[in-house]
Amino acid sequence: MNDPAVVLAGVSKIFSTGTAALAATDLSIAEGSFTSVVGPSGCGKSTLLRLIAGLTPPTSGRIARAATATPLATGFVFQEATLMPWATTAENIALPLRLASVADAEVAARVSDAVARVGLGGFAAAYPRELSGGMKMRVSIARAIVNGPRLLLMDEPFAALDEFTRFKLNDDLLELWQRNRWTILFVTHSIREAVFLSERVVVMSPRPGRIVADLAVDLPPQRDAALRLGHAFADQCARVTSALGDAFLTQAAS
Amino acid sequence: MTRIAQALLPAAFGALVLTLWELAVRLNEIPPYILPGPLTIMAALWESGPELLQALSVTLEVTIAALILAAVTGAGIALLLAQSKLAEQTLFPYAVFLQVTPIVTVAPFVIIWVNNVFIVLLILAWMAAVFPIISNTLLGLKSADPNLKDLFRLYGASRGQTVLRLLAPSALPYFLGGLRISGGLALIGTVVAEMVAGTSGARSGLASRLLEASYRLELARALACFALLSAAGFILYIALDVLSRRLLRHWHESARPVESI
């Protein structure tokens, strides 16, 4: 296993409203790994990402980040595309570079590279309202990768999309990851999506969020769309489903 | 409905009302010092056109100066208030005072303290116009997408970058909405200020001319002044609406091109 990019030691989060979002949690994310976090709504998945991104401080515990996982080397993708409606595709993607005062020529080169990588060719001058939901999400991903981050935090990025678009984006994301080997932490409430994409699935229980299972996905590293049809894939989904089921039973009993 | 029909409909309605007015005046033989007909008013407008237009330009000079001043200071004050909850809580009530105080009651003091008529009118018109810009812009500054704010923090954006690239564009549609309201208010403010300040002579505005004419029972001339002021206010509104649409046409729902229905 590679060196960890992020290590959480006893990290918990209680909001100022008194809501306990995350119980003391230990988690180590290996450099270059693709990890998914699954769990029902309100299990603190988003809070976990925001803590790792440094957008909110932990109530207790500490977070150690490798040099490749500092907030400035992190790309964040939200559930909604979260684009600036007044800016074109190219200017939205350029945002991290603009904020870092990168020179115009380099911005142009890096943006056109990111546009090509997420398959947005021909839409650089379009405004967000002219794009479909799937296209907007591609812009959002391009923005997250444009400044060459090593850590990608993705908070249910495909939840609002239809199944066809979601499958296509899953395939494309997987291909991008296999080529670039970012460290990806991917939050989703879709078990199938988690199993298809990741090497490791972390299962969380609801409020306060706790990690109740940590499963290695036993599928070949080279994956393609055909994998979704096989028995091996169904078996892995069943393992995660049963771990989630156990989590709910434990919670109901306590 | 075609665009031509959309423009013709209100014009036809106006023509109908004016015709009925003219007929009512003629059939009842109402004397022009009580109620002149539209034709008499148009004649008065034609007769003293250059003089009235010159007076209108004096009024519009104040109006536009006050509107620009209100836009700049209003946006600035809103930005200041948006910096902290404490600043807003401390200062916003005073902005409300500015709004609810009738400028007629402030005018006498301003006239005593300031001895330049243009500045007096400017201050009073500014007072009438600035509040919608402050309150709308403040609302806009506070309604920036929280996820985008997080993104700016993640990428280490400076305060200046956040204002310029996130807060200002988020507030722009709200600011422009305020500006459209303030355009009319600046004109109303100027007219009221002219009447209260009692400006006179060659450099007096259209509102003073209206008042003079009505004192002399030259109702046709007074109504001609009134028609010019209304038209100016209408054109000002249209101009600000066009400006708003142009600035927002690519992205804001309010400026979405109208589909044929």
Total domains present in chain B: 2
Residue-wise DSSP of A188-229: ES-HHHHHHH-SEEEEEETTTBEEEEEEE--S-SS--GGGGG
- For residues B23 and B51, membership in a common domain is answered with no
The residue-averaged pLDDT of A109-123 equals: 88
The CATH H-level (homologous superfamily) assignment of domain A4-253 is P-loop containing nucleotide triphosphate hydrolases (3.40.50.300)
Q: Are A161 and A194 in contact (CB under 8 A)?
A: no
pLDDT > 80? residue A42: no
Give the whole-angstrom CA distance, residue B55 versus residue B62.
Answer: 11
The pLDDT tens digits of the residues spanning B20-73 come to 999 998 898 888 888 888 988 998 889 888 888 988 988 999 999 999 999 999
Q: Which of A50, A55, A70, A84 to mutate to test the interface with B (most CBs of B within 10 A)?
A: A84
How many other CB atoms are found less than 10 A from the CB of residue B96? 12
pLDDT of residue B260: 40
pLDDT of residue A120: 85
pLDDT of residue B163: 92
What are the start-end ranges of the H helices in chain A? 45-53, 89-99, 104-117, 133-145, 163-180, 191-197, 231-253
pLDDT of residue A237: 87
The residue-averaged pLDDT of A12-39 equals: 88
The interface pTM score, or ipTM, of the predicted complex is 0.88
- For residues B74 and B136, membership in a common domain is answered with yes
- For residues B15 and B51, membership in a common domain is answered with no
pLDDT of residue B201: 62
CATH code assigned at B117: 1.10.3720.10
Q: Which of A76, A79, A92, A95 to mutate to test the interface with B (most CBs of B within 10 A)?
A: A95
- Out of A38-47, A168-177, B56-65, B128-137, pick the least confident: A38-47
Question: Can you give the residue range of the structural domain that contains B21?
Answer: 1-30
pLDDT of residue A159: 85
Q: In which residue ranges of chain B is pLDDT below 70?
A: 1, 199-202, 257-261
- For residues B12 and B47, membership in a common domain is answered with no
The residue-averaged pLDDT of A201-215 equals: 85
- For residues B145 and B175, membership in a common domain is answered with yes
A71 and B154 in contact by Cβ < 8 A?
A: yes
CA distances from B223 to A198, B27, B59, B213, B237 (A): 78, 21, 16, 9, 21
A82 and B148 in contact by Cβ < 8 A?
A: yes
pLDDT of residue B152: 93
pLDDT of residue B258: 57
pLDDT of residue A250: 63
Task: Quote the minimal CA–CA distance from B176 to chain A in Å.
Answer: 15
pLDDT of residue B1: 58
| Residue ranges covered by each domain of chain A | 4-253
A125-134, A231-240, B166-175, B199-208 — most confident range = B166-175
